[in-house]
Structure 1
Amino acid sequence: MISAASLFSLCNGLALLTWVVLSVSLFVPFIRRWTWIGAGLVVPALLAVAYIGTLAAGLAGGARGGFDSIEAVRSLFADDHALTAGWIHYLAFDLFVGTWIARTGIAAKLSPLLILPCLLLTFLVGPAGLLLALVIGFSTSRPILKEQT
């Protein structure tokens, strides 16, 4: 069985590499299709598998706590497996959201130079990047929430 620390490092490395390729895809159109499949589906799915396995290992190993109070969450995350699972959760969802931002931003014909800071912020502080993408989309009269055809 892989240790929580090793899985943490492996998932971090995979996510970082995927974020780099996703960012490059903004400027290199011919790699977008495969990048968006990888970054938006394949890698988040792999991270989801790692998340489920790590969370299960934490719970099977006696992790205690829950989600009904700050104390319960703190107690749960005192276990390395549960903490790693929580981190992988962020990696998967932020990458999925980042890919959505890239796809919808390009479809809305936003400049890659406007989308790139959104990706950087999503990578570093998830919801702030999403908020910036929404603000840019609406302020340019190209809302990224609009269904693109």
Structure 2
Amino acid sequence: MDWNLIFTVTNAHALLMWLILALAPRSTAIMTGLFFGGVGLLALAYTAIVIPLLTGLIDGGSGGSPDFSTLAGVQQALASPGGATIGWIHYLAFDLFVGLWVARNADKYGFARWLQIPILFSVLMLGPLGLVLYMLLRFTRHNKVAGSVLPE
């Protein structure tokens, strides 16, 4: 399996989706396209690779089935080309999903796009840290913690 090609294609696809999320109008068609064509395709790519990888149908380069019950096993799995690739696709799919939620929620609460873009970039690059930044921003608009953190 050409892990470099899979990594390059999924990475470029995700970056294109992030650019669209940050810069394009947030119409229903665009957001639906980002959800299914972005998150959905990344999740499908992940699924199409991880199931054969975990069942031993394809070799990820780690020399055997990954052991996710120990730190050493996770390190070994992620140190292989296949493990690093599926790990990265996993991040890409989930971070884009969170980015879509942040963008929709920020639009709902009236946050300007110029304020959203650095937070979306933080979600893309640092995942949970970007989400925390958005939750803190949301908290500035609401006096209740629950109102700032519960997804709506």
TM-score after normalising by structure 2:
0.84
CA contact (8 A) 1:94 1:122 kept: yes
Shift of residue 66, structure 1, vs aligned partner: 2.1
In structure 1, how many angstroms separate the alpha carbons of the residues matched to 2:83 and 2:52? 8
Within-5 A mapping of 1:119-134: 119-134=120-135
2:123 is the counterpart of 1:118: no
Partners of 1:23 and 1:37 lie apart in 2 by: 15
Cα 1:133–1:124, aligned 2, differ >3 Å: closer, same or farther?
same
1:37 aligns with 2:32: yes
Match of 1:145 among 132, 147, 150: 150
Residue number in structure 1 paired with 2:11: 12
Pairwise CA distance, 1:82 = 2.0
- Paired amino acid for 2:110: K
Q: Deviations over 1:117-143 (max 9, x none)?
A: 110100111111101110000112273
For 1:128 and 1:40, how far apart are their aligned partners in 2?
A: 22
Gaps of 5+ in 2: none
Secondary structure of the 1:67 match is: coil
In structure 2, give the amino acid aligned to 1:17.
Answer: L
Percent identity, please: 32
Secondary structure, aligned partner of 1:64: coil
1:44 and 1:95 in contact (8 A); partners too: yes
Corresponding residue SS for 2:79: coil
Give me the CA root mean square deviation. Answer: 1.9
Unaligned residue ranges in structure 1 (runs of 5+): none
**CA displacement, residues 12-55 of structure 1 (integer Å, 9 cap, x when unaligned):** 00000010010013xx3xx5322211222331111111112222
Of 28, 46, 70, the residue aligned with 1:51 is: 46
Q: Is the 8 A contact 1:67 1:73 kept in 2?
A: yes
Secondary structure of 1:14's counterpart equals helix
Q: 93-102 or 2-11, which moves further after superposition?
A: 2-11
How many pairs are equivalent? 142
Alpha-carbon spacing, 1:115–1:33, altered in 2? closer, same or farther (3 Å)? same
